[in-house]
A = this chain, B = another copy of it.
Amino acid sequence: MRTVTFLPSYRKIDVPRGTTVLDAAQRAGLSMNVVCGGQGKCGKCIVYIQSGRAEFDRQKFGRFFSDAELQKGACLACETIVQGDLHVLVPESTLIQEQKILVEGLDHEIEFRPSVRKYYVELQPPSLADPSPDLSRLLWGIQKSGGPVAEKMYAPLEVLREIPSILRHSDWKVTATIGLVPGGYRVIDLQENDTSKRAYGAAVDLGSTTVVVYLWDLVTGKVVGVASNYNKQISCGEDILARVNFARKNGLTKLQALAAESINQALTTASNSAGIDREDIYDVVVAGNTVMTHMLLEIDPAYMIAEPYVPVVRRALSIAAHRLGINCNPNGGVFAFPAVSDFIGGDIIADILACGMGERDEISLLVDIGTNFEVVLGNREWMFSCAGAAGPALEGGEVLFGMRANPGAIEKITIDPVTLDPEYSTINGIKPRGVCGSGLIDLLAELLVVCVIDRTGRINTEIEHPRIRKGTHFPEFVIAWAKETDIGKDIVITENDIKNLIMSKASVHAACVTLMKEAGVTHKDISTIYFAGAFGNYLDKKNATIIGLIPEIDLNDIKNIGNGAVTGANIALINRRARKTLDDIAYRIAYIELNAESSFMDEYTGSTFLPHTDFSLFPGVQKLLDSCRIRKE
């Protein structure tokens, strides 16, 4: 064996005498430019022999190098044979550059290194002098073209059966699609001629309501299409519980098919709009909650909806796409995000990947609010998570004029402290039909600041103002008069609505504090709070703090990551290292069952005040409310 040392990295590798320097470099993990596949034709794999004994044909190199360059030891790595221990300088221009790209929703670039790559190779046909088997010939060709080491690749039976005819029909010019799988690399596909520019992947957010697909060009690193549609499972049940019950009545196969169809529909829309053949999609990454993921895989979710709430599987899974009925290349793969528990699913792992909290030393708090909420607290060393029912109030449910964030929903409100007249904006700017989540939080905060409600949420009916009235069942505050609205009715918020909203926000806040206590940290230790999901998108951070939805920290340190599920899926699609970390992230997260924590109920009680019984947790809010009260008095 001879030792080859590559400079400037000082990477060393022992190889048998007679190995090419290119081969040695590849074994040492250096990715060199080799357009011609190591045939000495393209002149890209330039290296400089600094010391040691190597064999090469100086005359051949004359075509590529000046005499001065040759004096410096310039060689083509593919045509230089190791004879003794060597020191070889590899100029940066010889190495394949790592591409970095910006992913939507992120403020930093991600290294573009997808799990699937295509390699176009022109092979020497077999001869009596080189009768090596078709598979070896192909795999060596791929390795020589910068692909993985031949021994680490394998071809499944379906590809193996096609190899001999494709190689010969194409006159030994083929494009192989190679995918990273646990323990090695899989030859996903083999095509005649050069199709290396046609490789696509899809990142999927499989939500219980909506399915979102981002279609990526895995060669250029660009998003070529985005599509979304409803999850067709809605026909089997509006919410997850209903669907699990549907599954229990022999409906799982149907739910699986509907999940696949929902993804297929979005895939079709995205690929049609981009003018892409779905057969060229090789990699589909799916982030969904635990129940959705189980359903997509046709694994029984029944045991997650009753005590003790047990999923069947939490680890990441790679499944052949055709087994799930996903319409992409038949040999393509589906990668499903891992989960932590029944409630902390792949969507939350994707949120964590998107906000990067699992990679930093600083402590972050991630909050994802829907009908249920999920909270994760931690850093690269440790993470705690919990989940609970927020109730529908924060999404506009169980609130008299509450509504989802659809056109006509009041999404922002301020109330004049003197006149008590609200100023609002609606989605799409049309006349108001109701109030959505972000509007309700504004309303709660504003009503508190202008002293229409007290810290328990009671409306001060002693204030004489046309907008403050007794209502049919409960005291209420008129947000918009009938004539301003699209519905011909006064839009009001009642004291009962406010109670429901407070209960919801109290659950979220108590969950945050329970995790903080578990971890032994206070709000002062939290560097960033991330809101994930649609709810966070339109939320007024200040008002969320005023009502005590989340612990009080500097407003600049509260961030919305939007649809973290799809952002995380995008990252896992285009960066193989990130994908590899997911199981680790999931295993690192401890799950706290709130029902089993007595402290949660204590925290909840304290949190049913605005912002909290303990003002010391909200010094900024206390100061603000004090100043308002003084001003009003």
A165 in contact (CB, < 8 A): yes
CA distance A310 to B595 in the complex (A): 66
A111 in contact (CB, < 8 A): no
Give every chain B residue within 8 A of A163 (Cβ-Cβ).
Answer: 312-313
A183 in contact (CB, < 8 A): yes
Give every chain B residue within 8 A of A13 (Cβ-Cβ).
Answer: none
Closest residue of chain B to A127, judged by CB?
A: B308
- CB of B157 within 8 A of CB of A319, answer yes
A311 in contact (CB, < 8 A): yes
- CB of A126 within 8 A of CB of B183, answer no
**Binary interface encoding of chain A residues 595-612 relative to chain B, with 1 for a CB under 8 A from any of its CBs, else 0:** 110000000000000000
- CB of A311 within 8 A of CB of B128, answer no
Q: Label chain A's interface by main secondary structure.
A: loop
The stretch of A217-225, A292-300, A549-557 in contact with B is A292-300
- CB of A314 within 8 A of CB of B593, answer no
Give every chain B residue within 8 A of A302 (Cβ-Cβ).
Answer: 164
- CB of B297 within 8 A of CB of A128, answer no
- Contact partner of A300 (CB less than 8 A), chosen from B155, B165, B303, is B165
Give every chain B residue within 8 A of A133 (Cβ-Cβ).
Answer: 310-314
What distance in Å separates the Cβ of A130 from its nearest Cβ neighbour in chain B?
Answer: 8
Q: How many residues of A contact B (CB 8 A)?
A: 47
- CB of B134 within 8 A of CB of A164, answer no
How many monomers of this chain does the complex have? 2
Give every chain B residue within 8 A of A155 (Cβ-Cβ).
Answer: 313
CA distance A309 to B129 in the complex (A): 11
CA distance A311 to B137 in the complex (A): 11
Q: A134-B303, A165-B300 are in contact. Are A308 and B160 (CB under 8 A)?
A: no
Closest residue of chain B to A340, judged by CB?
A: B133
- Contact partner of A308 (CB less than 8 A), chosen from B128, B157, B165, B298, is B128
Closest residue of chain B to A300, judged by CB?
A: B164
CA distance A130 to B319 in the complex (A): 28
CA distance A299 to B157 in the complex (A): 9
A380 in contact (CB, < 8 A): no
- Contact partner of A131 (CB less than 8 A), chosen from B130, B308, B319, is B308
CA distance A168 to B309 in the complex (A): 14
A198 in contact (CB, < 8 A): no
CA distance A155 to B297 in the complex (A): 13
- CB of B312 within 8 A of CB of A595, answer no
CA distance A309 to B308 in the complex (A): 62
A578 in contact (CB, < 8 A): no
Give every chain B residue within 8 A of A183 (Cβ-Cβ).
Answer: 182-184
Extra contacts besides A128-B308, A164-B312 (19): CB < 8 Å:
A126-B303, A128-B596, A133-B310, A133-B311, A133-B313, A133-B314, A134-B310, A134-B312, A136-B314, A155-B313, A157-B323, A160-B299, A160-B312, A160-B317, A161-B297, A161-B299, A163-B312, A163-B313, A182-B184
